Structure 1
């Protein structure tokens, strides 16, 4: 056993070094770069950010930009629904429906699917049917590739140069990150492309061969992706129409567009807008600037600091007041047999932080009491 330990440590360190090397290059670097010659974060001007944004949307210049273009084309396609809702179908009922759909349904689904499953694989489905069912619970807007691969990099480099939505880069740096910082590198080696595919294999997305990737610059196949969105939108528009007619269908499509824009602000807010806003007794992770926020936590189960403590946990609402709608869905699916296994770090959180903190507090109190007792004995003597 003594001879195996050094070899085991070497193997673990080698794998970690290889992973970090891969994550250093898996995303397409912006023209302004991740860091300067001193290793500090490059904070581009708004002009540089917008220049990069429109350059990467240009599918006529390079068809490898198709996925970035699609990200914002879907948002623009929802704009007419927003104006129709606002000027023709706005009522108390449709407003309440739109609020519930955008804030709770879309937000919770993003946490369930893109965050906890696609990126962190925090739970496993019983079969492909339940995976497909969960994937399409809401309007399909964000491509899994754009979210999942870059989010691995975010956790590895959180709040440091290379973090695709580093809040210290400013609001626009985060808001336009899906185009400027999150797409995969267009020049990956065949070995690194295979590694990238491996990050996505559990999701069930049909991916390009390496030769196809060299043509399209993405994991996702353009035709499959576009047809998938069309079918998804068609199904949900029909379902909403049958439930509440054109007013409800328009309202919920408008709500999805509102969410699609709003969700792009989350990581800027969730990492303190580039400042240290962590609170004692609330935000226990001190390795980055992530914070627990009441609103995203209540409506979407996104207790961000908790998540950064235990990224592979299917639950991030650990304390009694931390409502976690995403966890409730996962737990329900497990109860009915749709989810086979999941990882829950709640007990570990209490052991590592709350109980440990209580023990430290008791020890401190005991230390403070010792001098008082000694003084009292001395006085009596």
Structure 2
């Protein structure tokens, strides 16, 4: 059994697609749409390999939400319910994804007082995205951002990113026990019960199918019941349809958030220059996803550093800290201003003064 270092571990922790990550010269492989789709449907085939169960379940959740969305649109539609659907899908689901999957499960940017508050936060919304699919692959994303091996490398195109949860994000099915234990350590703080190594070899995942199915059903029954008690089947169908809509829409984010594969960063807005990540107004406002700021300080519980950068996820974390549900968090706002914003502002002022006068600041 071999030992795998941190960087090497991130090279092998994800299941390599059939078309590979990079060619013999180390360049990113950009598969055709046909290759991406063939990989997608192959990896959803649970009859050929039961280890495909987790990505299959992820898309089954989306398909199950389609009837709810159809009922909302064609039976229960009203303008107030449309407003509810908009707020739930765009703001509530998006913000919760940032709070739970992004800042907690992946980056452990804050600490819960106990398992109750962790469970409470995990289940604030209708559950759609498996923690394991998101968190492990996101560690790789940060280590290899916009490089070969980045599971949602925007330079390989929209479809490459959109279907990444199936084609590029599942963990490898061939990890040694030592390597699998590293996955367990990365997931241990999330409270998601993990497989033993023997169970991992059987199912090819960190989470057991029974655990994933039962937790999903409990979450769905609870939230359908709550919505039904408040507003009947109309509200319940609206909320569940909106959750499905978000689950599809969120798959487009990293393509957009990395400039569609182009270098479109704006001076004075995007300070992290080592990849193509950008700060976008809409994802920032509705979900706290100031993405370039996040790549600058990945472990920060806040990514809306500037006054206009609304960060609803951060407001939730701060509120939880104020009531004692969160005991600690990491906040890099001061470092952002000291290390990036103020030096950049000084540099711009210096250039302007030099251009308009004879003196040069030194």
* Paired residue secondary structure (1:208): coil
Which of 176, 181, 202 aligns to 2:168? It is 181
Q: CA deviation at 1:359?
A: 3.1
Provide the TM-score with structure 1 as the length reference.
0.92
Larger deviation, residues 355-364 vs 52-61: 355-364
Tell me which residue corresponds to 1:84: 71
Match of 1:163 among 146, 150, 154: 150
- The runs of 5 or more residues in structure 2 that have no matched partner are none
Inter-partner Cα distance in structure 2 for 1:368 and 1:265: 42
Tell me the distance in 1 between the aligned counterparts of 2:229 and 2:11: 48
Residues 1:240 and 1:42: Cα distance change in structure 2 (over 3 Å): same
Is 1:50 aligned to residue 34 of structure 2? no
Whether contact under 8 Å (2:268, 2:344) holds in the other structure is no
State the distance in 1 between where 2:5 and 2:201 align.
Answer: 23
Which residue is equivalent to 2:297? 310
Equivalents in 2 of 1:57, 1:367: separation in Å?
61
Aligned-pair CA distance for 1:294: 0.5
Query: What per-residue deviation string (whole Å, max 9, x for no partner) do you get for residues 142-178 of structure 1?
Result: 0000000000000000000000000001010000000
1:347-376 per-position Cα deviation (integer Å, ceiling 9, x unaligned): 110001121123334554666688469xxx
**Equivalent-residue separation in structure 2 for 1:139 and 1:310 (angstroms):** 29
SS of the residue aligned with 1:182? coil
Number of the residue aligned with 1:28: 15
Match of 1:290 among 243, 268, 277: 277
**Runs of 4+ with >4 A deviation:** 362-373
Q: State how far apart, in whole Å, the 1-side matches of 2:308 and 2:349 are.
A: 25
Q: TM-score, normalised by structure 2?
A: 0.96
Structure 1: segments with no counterpart, 5+ residues: 1-14, 374-381
Output aligned runs, 1:133-212, within 5 Å.
133-212=120-199
Deviation by residue 1:282-318 (Cα, 9 ceiling, x = unmatched): 0010010000001000100100000000000000000
- Hey, what's the Cα distance between the residues in 2 that align with 1:267 and 1:367? 39
Tell me the distance in 1 between the aligned counterparts of 2:354 and 2:282. 40
Q: Does 1:323 align with 2:323?
A: no
**Judging changes above 3 Å, is the alpha-carbon distance between structure 1 residues 101 and 369 closer, same or farther for their aligned structure 2 residues?**
closer
Show CA shifts across 1:175-220 (max 9, x none): 0000000000000011100011100000011100001100000000
Aligned to 1:379: none
> Match for residue 6 of structure 1?
none
* Equivalences for residues 173-252 of structure 1 within 5 A: 173-252=160-239
Return the alpha-carbon distance in structure 1 between the equivalents of residues 18 and 305 of structure 2: 41
Secondary structure of the structure 2 residue equivalent to 1:67: helix
Corresponding residue for residue 59 of structure 2? 72
Q: How does 1:56-135 map to 2 (within 5 A)?
A: 56-135=43-122
